[in-house]
Amino acid sequence: MSPKQIVLRDPEIRIIIRRIALQIAENHTDHIELLLIGLNQRGYYLANLIKQELQDILPSLSLELQSMDMSNPIAKLSATAAHILIVDDVLNSGKTAFLAASACMHNQLIKLETAFLAVREHRNFPVAANYVGLSIATTLQEHVLFDNDDETNLRVYLQ
């Protein structure tokens, strides 16, 4: 197995999260509420960081945070919202985000968006990334990994 190469360090990740939150706020100034759905553990972690930033930037926006466990292929939302933002760490094939978007379609959606810390350009499913931290060109054999085990030392690796 090839060694891990750091592509993003903690300070860069924090700046990217702030930038993504600013972009989201810019597109939601006229909305009342936004449901952030974090996919699995790392997506939920990032969604929570984005939520904290959004609360500072746009305090009038009512924010709800929910986790969606994508190991369950028929995941259900426990909340309904007209504006939903799906958050995950890495967009790879697009399958996870596609399944999550499908699960959201039972809501009375007005707007469904996605945010990813890192995006690979090898998608097999029709998923567009609305907010992207880093777009990275990789080979099919390489993997992009987000490490949040140490919350004071976040990292994104290429392996």
Domain residue limits at 19: 5-68+87-158
Domain assignment of residue 76, yes or no: no
Percent of the chain with pLDDT over 70: 95
Domain assignment of residue 82, yes or no: no
- Per-residue pLDDT band for 140 (boundaries 50, 70, 90) equals confident
Taking residues 62-82, what's their average pLDDT? 81
Domain assignment of residue 18, yes or no: yes
Domain assignment of residue 97, yes or no: yes
Domain assignment of residue 81, yes or no: no
8-state DSSP, 14: H
Among 121, 154, 157, smallest CA distance to 139 is for 121
Domain assignment of residue 75, yes or no: no
Domain assignment of residue 44, yes or no: yes
Does an H or E element contain 52, and which? helix 40-57
Q: Is the pLDDT of residue 1 over 70?
A: no
Inter-axis angle of helices 40-57 and 10-27, nearest 10: 60
Q: Write the CATH number for 125.
A: 3.40.50.2020
Q: pLDDT for 104-113, tens place per residue?
A: 887 788 999 9
Q: What SS3 class is residue 141?
A: coil
Task: Answer for the pair 112, 56: CB distance below 8 angstroms, yes or no.
Answer: no
Q: pLDDT for 27-66, tens place per residue?
A: 999 989 999 999 999 999 999 999 999 999 999 999 999 9
**Total of domains in the chain:** 1
